[in-house]
A and B are shown apart, each in its own frame.
Chain A
Amino acid sequence: MSADVPLIACEGLVKRFGERQVLGPVDLALAAGDRLALLGPNGAGKTTLLSLLAGSAEASAGTVERPDAREIGVVPQRPALYRRLSARENLELFARLARVPEPEAELAELAAAVALGDALDHPVERLSIGQVQRVNVAIGLLGRPLVVLLDEPTAALDPGHRLALWSMLERVSERGGAFAFATQNVEEARLAADTVLVLVDGRAAYAGPQEAFWQEAGAVEAAGGHERAFVAFVERVRSAA
C-alpha cells in the first residue's frame, strides 16, 4: 500500500478454521507514518487480520513480514488490564515485564499522555470506560513500538475521549512508526486514517488511499453520506460475489 520500505507486510494471507475460510487472501504493507483503517461490517475478518499481523495467531497460508515482537504494540478491543491494580501499576508492570529500556522516562511520558490526573493511582475498576481505554492503549504503546495494531479502540468512547486517544496515536506516526486500527465507524476512519483496507466477508474489497475509496464508493458530502456510500459499497461487493 505504501511505496516506502514496509515496517510490516503480508502477502496472500489466508486464515481457515477447519474447512471454512474466514480471511483472505490479503496483501498489505505499512510503512513509516502510515495510518491505516481496517473497515468492514461485523465478521468481516478485521480482528483475525490484526491477530495474524501481530503474530498472535497462525496463518493458514501466505506470509507476514514483521519486525521483532517488541516493535509491535497491540491494543485489544476489550481492555487487557488488571482491574484491581491502578493505571500506574499496570503501566509499570507491563513496562518491566517487556523490559522497556528506560521505563521511568517512558512511564512519565505515557502517564502524561493518558491524562488521568489523580485517577492514575486509582484501581482501574474505578475508572471510566474512556479512562480505561486510554490506559489500555498506553500499554500497547509501551517500548515505543514501530507498529501499533488496534482493534476497535474507540468503541463505547465519547467524542472527547476519542480525540484524546487519537492524539496519543498521532505520536506513533510522528516518530516514524505506523498504526492500523479496525473500526466499523466510517467517520472515525476518515478522521484518523490516510489509507483504508475494506474487508467484506473475509476478502479485501478495497485497499488504497482513503480519498480514492470514497470516490469509488460514490460518497457525497452530506449528513451520513459516507456511511450510506460504505453500506452501498459492501452490498455491491456481496452482489458481485
Chain B
Amino acid sequence: MSRFALLLRKDLLLLARSRPLLAVLVVYPLVLSLLVGGVLGGQGTRPRVAFVNEDDIPDVVHIGNRSFDFGRIVRQAGKRVQLVDLTLPRARRALADGDVVAVIIVPRGFVSDLASLIASPQVELLTNRNAYEERILRETQAFVYTLNREVQTEYIRSNSHFLDVLVSGGKAEALGRSYNVLGLDATRKRIEQVEAGLPPDDPARKQLDSITAFAGQASAALGLAHQALAATAHPIGLAQHSTRGRSYLLGSQVQSYGLAISLAFVTLLLGAAVLTLERDENVLARLLRAGVRPALVVAEKVALCAIIGCGLGMLLALGFGVAAEISSSGAPWARIPLLLVPLTAAGAAFGALGCVVGAAARDLRAASLVGVALVTPIVLVGLVPRQVSPLAAGVSELLPFTPAVRAFGAALFDAAPLSTVFGGTAHLLVLTAVLAVASVALFRRLQS
C-alpha cells in the first residue's frame, strides 16, 4: 500500500472513531434536509401585496351596456398572492417597512378611461428589491392580462353586435350615445323598392344597381368580419395545466446553495482540522522522518476532504430529493449522479483552503476558529449577485463557493449541463491546486 493510501486509511479510521464528528456528519445533512424541505414546502406561501383601489371600483363594473365582474378578477389574483386592501399612504408605508412586498394601484379615473376608449387606463405596480420581485411582477401582469381579456371580450362582443346592426339595422351605442341604424340589408331593399317605381329606361336605374351591389358585397364582407375580429383578438391562446414537476427558482437555488454552504463548512473545517491534528499529535516530524513529504500530507488531506465532501454531498442531495418529493416540488433524481464530479471537486477545493488554514494555525482550536471565521465571508461574498457588486462577484470567482454553486445548479437543472458542470469542476480543480501549493509552502515555512 502506498504512503498516500496508508495516510488516507488512517484518517478515515480516525474520523470513524471520532463519534462527535461522525454524529455531526450524519446529523448535519438530516437537519439541513429538513430545513430545505421547509423552504421547498413553503414556496407556495403567498406573499402579501397591498391593493389600492383609488377609483373605488365596485365588484361589478358597468361600461356601456356591458357588466364586468371586477371583483372576480381581483379574487383570482388573490389566489396566488395575498391581497391586502390599503389606502395609498398606508400601502407605501407598508412597502417601506417590508410588511408587503409590492403595491398594486388602480388609480382614479380608471373605469371612465376604460369606458371612453380614448385613453388606456394604467394599473401601477410599486415594488422594492426583494426575492418576490419577479413573482409579483408576473402576478401583476397576469392580473392586468386577465382584466384586459375580460374587457377585450366584451369589446369584441360589442363590436360584433355593431357589425350586425350595420348589416341588419337596429339600435347601436358608441362613445356613450345611442343611434338608430338602417342597416345594409334594409338599404338594399329600399333601393330596390325605389328602383321598381322607375321607368325601365331611366338612367338612374344603372347607378342604383351599383349601390345595391355594393350593399350586398358589404353585407357579406361584414358577415366574415365577425370571425376575423375574434381570431385577431386572440391569435394565440394559453392553456395551463399544473403538474408535480420541479420548481426551478427554489428547487435549484436552495439545493445548490445548500450543498455549497454545507461543503464549505464541513470540508474547510475538516481540512484545517486534520492537518492541524498532525501537529497536535506531534507526529509531523515522525512522518517526515518516515519519508512522507509535506506535499503528500497536504495531498492526502485534500483527497480526504474530497471523499468526505462527495459522500456528504450525496447524502444531502438525497435528503433534499426526499424533502422535495414530500413538498411536491419534484426531485431531480436522474441528475444526482452528475453531482458526483463537482461535489468531489468542491470538497477538494474547500479542503485545500482548509489546509492553508491548518498549515498556518498553531493548534486545532485556532484552526477551527479561523476556519469558521473564513467560511462566513466566503459564503456571503458568493451570495452577492454580480449586478449588485461586480467586485464581490470577481472575488468570489477566486474562491470555491461560487463555481461550486454554478456547477451544482447546472448538474441538477440545466437542460445541457455538461459544459457548465465540467467548466465549474475545472475551475474548482485549478483553485484546489493553487491552494494546495500555498498550503505546502506555508507548511514548509512553518516547519523550518
Contacts and interface: CB of A to CB of B under 8 A. Distances in A.
B290 interface: yes
A80 B284 CA distance: 8
A123 B281 CA distance: 14
Interface in A81-132: 81-85, 89, 93-94, 96-99, 123
Contacts of B416: none
Interface in B279-328: 281-283, 285-292
A80 B3 contact: no
A83 B280 CA distance: 10
A96 B290 CA distance: 9
Interface in A210-234: none
Interface in B256-289: 281-283, 285-289
Contact of A74 (B1, B3, B17, B289): B289
Contact of A98 (B283, B285, B291): B291
B171 interface: no
A82 B291 contact: no
Contacts of A175: none
B10 A80 contact: no
Contacts of B288: 56
B6 A93 contact: yes
A69 interface: yes
Interface string B10-29: 10011001100000000000
B232 interface: no
A76 B287 contact: no
B51 to A, nearest CB: 64
Interface string B164-190: 000000000000000000000000000
B448 interface: yes
A67 interface: no
A82 B292 contact: no
A125 to B, nearest CB: 10
Interface string A56-85: 101000000000011010101011111111
Contact of B3 (A76, A78, A79, A97): A97
A139 B287 CA distance: 11
Contacts of A81: 281-283
Given A97-B3, A97-B290, A99-B291, A80 B285 contact: yes
8 contacts: A56-B288, A80-B281, A80-B285, A81-B282, A82-B14, A84-B13, A97-B291, A97-B292
Interface of A: 54, 56, 58, 69-70, 72, 74, 76, 78-85, 89, 93-94, 96-99, 123, 139
Interface of B: 1, 3, 6-7, 10, 13-14, 17-18, 281-283, 285-292, 448
Given A81-B282, A94-B286, A98-B291, 12 more contacts: A56-B288, A69-B289, A72-B289, A74-B285, A76-B282, A76-B285, A80-B282, A80-B285, A85-B14, A97-B3, A97-B292, A98-B289
Pairs A-B, 10 closest by C-beta atoms: A97-B290, A98-B290, A80-B282, A80-B286, A80-B283, A84-B17, A78-B282, A84-B14, A96-B6, A56-B285
